[in-house]
Amino acid sequence: MARSLVIVESPAKAKTINKYLGRNFTVKASIGHVMDLPKKTIGIRLPGEDPSGRKKRKKKKGAKKGAQAEEKNTKKPITLDDDKIFEPTLQIIAGKGKVISDLRKAAHSAEAVYLAGDPDREGEAISAHLAMVLSKPSKYPEQEASVSRFKKKDAKPEEPAKAEAEDAPKKEVVAIDPKKIFRVTFNEITPKAIRAAFDKPRQVDSNLVDAQQARRVLDRIVGYKISPILWDKVRRGLSAGRVQTVALRLIVERELAIRAFVPQEYWTIHAMLDAGQPPLFEAKLFKHNGEDIEVKNQEAADKIVAAVSKAKWQVASVAQKEKKRNPPPPFTTSKLQQAAYNRLRYTAKRTMSLAQKLYEGVELGDEGSVALITYMRTDSVHVSNDALAQVRELIPERFGANYLPEKPNFYKSKKDAQEAHEAVRPTDVMRAPEDVRKYLDEDLFKLYQLIWQRFVASQMLPAIFDQTTIDINAGDYTFRATGSVQKFDGYLRVYQLPASNADRDDDEKDDEGEGRALPQVVEGQVLRLDKIRPDQHFTEPPPRFNDATLVKELEEDGIGRPSTYASIISTIVEREYVTKNQGRFSPTMLGERVSTLLVKSFEDIFDVTFTARLEEELDEIEEGKLPWREAVKEFWEKFVVDLDKAGDEMLSYKAGIPTGKKCEKCGQGELLERISRHGFFLGCSRYPDCDFIQDLSPELPEEASGEPKTEYCDNCGKEMAIKRGRFGTFLACTGYPDCKTTRRLVQGTRIAHQPLLRLSEVQVHAAHHHGHQMPEVQ
């Protein structure tokens, strides 16, 4: 009897699934995507261009020639009658020839082929591409450069790259009958979920594929069209991303708000009071003559202190009530990333890497490879009935019946959440963290423990507190004391709150007085003033983003989706547009200037609201409500207008951007801001007659320390330390030698001193400013 072939993305996932399917199935991995857009060309048929990105030149009778004709060609109204418009030209990814050959051979002899990629757009696209590759005969799969979606093209395919041709199979393989190719999805790798998926196989969902394709096309258009402008205006090698640039904008705008912030002085006044029985308790100035009061300076504070020091302190009111703190819902992707950063200091990228391992399967001794959590890319808080029944069985056994609510707790997902997905939870809640600890490394264990605790807590009773509020009159002034004592720990039995308010979600923040006991007092009781303390404060600027708060901001603004938050953040860090200091993001000088140029030239495209609306359109494509070409067309029509202007009007750091300031040396020329391979600098417009130059790089300390900084390794989560080597200073993981991760120090965090630019190091080009030659950027 012929076996059925199951194809997944990774070997780890294949290993876990294989043990559940039995001997009638062969499980193989595609190792991620097998097809993508070409690397060296845009690979999209844009209006007026061929897939290489070159302008089409159409000679017509009476038509204008040259650039004017090209401009006219691109500005014709776009119609979607031509089904090739915006169509991507997909290619077999270099190096995937052997993988595809192996899959073809296995599929040819299989009774059926099941595509079991992840249950999201990316997994659906991988499945669609595998279906295309397997159902199309080819001697050399890498030559299928013109394969586009599910249609066969008559055009002659492009020649493969040398690297692609080398591992191409030499023997022609017969195509697989598309009727025996099926799609199966499951949110968790468990026997029951897998059986359910294989009981109801389906075809590839073209709507999901369209949504992924639309996103890929949009991202490619932005990257390929804007990056060359940055090369021309700033520096070669720079790039722009449709979503990443918006994230960078958020960081830059926060930095500008911090710089513009003007601290405001204010005072608080605290009184320590004695009720005749312990404990002494503190009350804070609350009102004056029944109205809210602001104390803005020391003079006002001293006046109040003098007045209340002589006054009679008498209890005006005592209010007691029971307060509940409800358990949080199980994790979505964004909440997992936020909690993992706040509690474990894992970056979003590190969290997703660890979660991927827990989802695909880890070795648990004699049990073999076991998947410990459900699919980790989700915006849903939905939980299956089986999982609810299991956790409701666990809670009374482990914690007591008084921790279990009468009915399961149900939570509402945010708008447009995919309810077909589940929240991130353990696949088997009976598998407690301590049961698997010996099989997991420290980071995997901590993340699994966090997910397990959150899921269990979500189905427990609220924590209950007795809250007391005492208002005390002192002449015309009213002071308030608040105390709160835990009466029943509820879900806090398993899911403790972080000690610092800064590390808590908004719904976890402490009320003032939580955990503070107050003495028994009655209305009208006279109290003794023990001491009074005025404290000076200054308002603080908005804090810089960290991993948790940036993910939260992206989610609230509708920027990106659960599967993209981590890559958005890691991309802008890797491009050196932002740097991290003590765990918080700051824009580098390069990132700030690139963001400013892009936002000014592409105001709509990199607008937060516009980007969020585009994400909603991708959701509508996925739901079959919007044709993917319509969304791309709408974007292109806005984008191409800005693109034409940007090429001509965007300010250039290569030519020099006027600052409006006179040269400090000659007093005649204007200072221009420019960029070299050393960074940004100011130079005189009268160069070479005036050789004034001023480095704009941040001040950097001379000496480097090996002491740990609050930077964390992307691979293992341990602290990074600043080290000095033969090539300068760098960050190294303190987990060495187990983890050998290093990271170079980018602008804003480097330690080694950078010398000022020497004019002899810069070449001169033919561009003129105010009639004088200026240094050219390397």
The residue length of the chain stands at: 778
**Percent of the chain scored above 90 by pLDDT?**
72
Q: Indicate if the pLDDT at residue 726 is higher than 60.
A: no
Q: Tell me the C-alpha distance between 542 and 253, whole Å.
A: 11
CB distance 373 to 425 below 8 Å:
yes
What confidence score (pLDDT) does residue 418 get?
56
What is the DSSP secondary structure assignment for residue 631, as one 8-state letter? H
- Residue for token digits 């904008």? 249
737 prior amide bond cis, ω within 30: yes
- Element spanning 123, H or E: helix 121-134
Task: Report pLDDT digits (tens) over 114-123.
Answer: 999 999 999 9
Task: Report pLDDT digits (tens) over 422-474.
Answer: 999 999 999 999 999 999 999 999 999 999 999 999 999 999 999 999 999 99
Q: Indicate if the pLDDT at residue 137 is higher than 90.
A: no
Q: Is the dihedral of CA 326, 427, 362, 100 positive or negative?
A: negative
What average pLDDT does this structure show over 737-750? 62
Of 105-109, 139-143, 471-475, the range with the highest mean pLDDT is: 471-475
What is the three-class DSSP state of 654? Answer: coil
Q: Which domains does the chain have, with CATH numbers?
A: 4-44+87-204 (3.40.50.140), 212-260+543-649 (1.10.460.10), 267-326+468-538 (2.70.20.10), 333-458 (1.10.290.10), 657-776 (no CATH)
Q: Indicate if the pLDDT at residue 31 is higher than 60.
A: yes
Q: Tell me the C-alpha distance between 328 and 635, whole Å.
A: 38
Q: Tell me the C-alpha distance between 710 and 722, whole Å.
A: 10
**Residue 621 — very low, low, confident or very high, per pLDDT cuts 50/70/90?**
very high
Task: Report pLDDT digits (tens) over 518-527.
Answer: 999 999 999 9
CB distance 700 to 581 below 8 Å:
no
54 vs 406, which has greater pLDDT?
Answer: 406
Q: Tell me the C-alpha distance between 407 and 405, whole Å.
A: 5
Mean pLDDT, the chain, rounded, equals 85
Q: Indicate if the pLDDT at residue 656 is higher than 80.
A: yes
Residue 313 contacts by C-beta under 8 Å, 6 or more apart in sequence? 271, 273, 472, 473, 474, 526, 527, 528, 529
Q: Indicate if the pLDDT at residue 717 is higher than 90.
A: no
In terms of C-beta distances under 8 Å and separation of at least 24 residues, what long-range contacts does 640-644 make, across chains too?
Answer: 640/74, 642/601, 642/602, 642/603, 642/604, 642/605, 643/225, 643/226, 643/229, 643/602, 644/71
Q: Tell me the C-alpha distance between 448 and 191, whole Å.
A: 20
Q: Indicate if the pLDDT at residue 390 is higher than 70.
A: yes
What confidence score (pLDDT) does residue 81 get?
56
Q: Which residues are the active-site residues?
A: 375
- Element spanning 309, H or E: helix 298-309
Tokens standing for residue 428: 């088997």
**Residue 775 — very low, low, confident or very high, per pLDDT cuts 50/70/90?**
very low
What confidence score (pLDDT) does residue 2 get?
66
457: nearest Cα among 489, 491, 485: 491
88 prior amide bond cis, ω within 30: no
- Element spanning 767, H or E: strand 763-769
What confidence score (pLDDT) does residue 223 get?
95
Tokens standing for residue 641: 């207008």
